[in-house]
Structure 1
Amino acid sequence: MNKRGWGLIAAAATGLCFCCVASAQQFVYPAKGQSPDQQKKDEGACHTWAVGQSAYDPTKPPPPPPAAPPTTATGTTPGAGAVGAVKGAIVGEIVGGDAGAGAAAGAVAARGQSRRQNASQQKQAQAQQQQTASAGQAAYGKARQACLEGRGYTVR
């Protein structure tokens, strides 16, 4: 299976976990003697309302993280080594009169910097996605609770 296939499976599993967590945190008691059928209808209506209020649906997996910038087999951004080589050649010529050594050092430094920057951007995107999902889950839970309490249920 390719990377995209595994990514979709991971996203679906994450969505199922969010769904279970959101449902597991709230216990609903029919304080006014509502029947089980009425409770199911009310919970369904409150789910729909909470999704509309929070823009978060625990039954759907979160979107995949944004695509990372294209990289080479070494994990660097294409062209990073060439740009570093040019800069290194200029510095090498000015400082020591050896443009070749400067170019090699510049290429290596630029590729290392490119790898670190790509990894950092990917971590930031993942953290942002997780934070957004957590905030959406909290808003959904509050909206669902408010709706159910308005219909005469005790929610804990």
Structure 2
Amino acid sequence: MTKRTLSLAFAVMVTMITLDAAGQGKPIAYPAKGQSAQQQQSDDGACYSWAKSSSGIDPAVASTAPPPQSGPAVGGGERLGGAARGAAGGAVIGAIAGDAGKGAAIGATAGTMAGGVRARQNRRAQDANAQAQSQGAMSTYYRAWAACMQGKGYSIQ
């Protein structure tokens, strides 16, 4: 398998795990011991605080994803590196064909495009990884919250 195929397979796997975790969301608490709505709201607030402090995860922060980066700084130099590699290869081929300058220009253009593809693939993999980490943090928080609510007599689903 090529590096590109492995990167794509990893991104797909992370996305599938993330979508599965995202579909789960916050557990539902049923007042199994006849607690009133007011008592349930109070217990929910207490468990929110307890789960936040015991897990070290603030769900208000963990559930917000950072905005996607854009602009010329994004890409980690893949386009520039691709252009340089393409220009070097194109110059060699162009020299053999009789016009090194034209070969270098064509190679640089092709290399820039390939670098752009690489940059987009890397960005997608980074975004999927960040989202998976956020979902993992929320899962940890929800387990703590559910344990607290069960301790207060609620049935959790």
TM-score by length of 2: 0.65
* CA apart distance, 1:128: 0.9
Question: RMSD across aligned C-alpha pairs, in angstroms?
Answer: 3.2
* CA apart distance, 1:105: 2.3
Alpha-carbon separation, structure 2, partners of 1:71 and 1:54: 33
Q: Which has the higher contact order (CA 8 A, sep 6+)?
A: 2
Which structure shows the higher helix fraction?
A: 2
Q: Is the contact between residue 90 and residue 103 of structure 2 (CA under 8 Å) also seen in structure 1?
A: yes
* CA apart distance, 1:130: 2.1
Alpha-carbon separation, structure 2, partners of 1:49 and 1:113: 50
* CA apart distance, 1:109: 1.7
Q: Is the contact between residue 81 and residue 111 of structure 1 (CA under 8 Å) also seen in structure 2?
A: yes
* CA apart distance, 1:91: 4.5
Pick the aligned partner of 1:22 from 9, 14, 25.
25
In structure 1, what residue type is equivalent to 2:123? Q
Unpaired stretches in structure 1, ≥5 consecutive residues: 1-17
1:81 alignment counterpart:
83
Alpha-carbon separation, structure 2, partners of 1:105 and 1:117: 19
Q: Which runs of 4+ in 1 moved over 6 A?
A: none
What are the within-5 Å matches in structure 2 for residues 125-136 of structure 1? Answer: 125-136=126-137
2:150 alignment counterpart:
149
1:112 alignment counterpart:
113
Query: Does 118-127 or 129-138 show the bigger shift?
Result: 129-138
Other structure's SS at 2:59 match: coil
1:15 alignment counterpart:
none
Name the count of aligned residue pairs: 132
Q: Is the contact between residue 90 and residue 102 of structure 1 (CA under 8 Å) also seen in structure 2?
A: yes
Q: Is the contact between residue 43 and residue 148 of structure 1 (CA under 8 Å) also seen in structure 2?
A: yes
Identity of aligned pairs, percent? 31
Alpha-carbon separation, structure 2, partners of 1:125 and 1:136: 17
Alpha-carbon separation, structure 2, partners of 1:49 and 1:97: 74
Query: Does 61-70 or 114-123 show the bigger shift?
Result: 61-70
Alpha-carbon separation, structure 1, partners of 2:61 and 2:141: 11
* CA apart distance, 1:81: 3.4
Q: What per-residue deviation string (whole Å, max 9, x for no partner) do you get for residues 106-147 of structure 1?
A: 112211111101110121122112212222222222111101
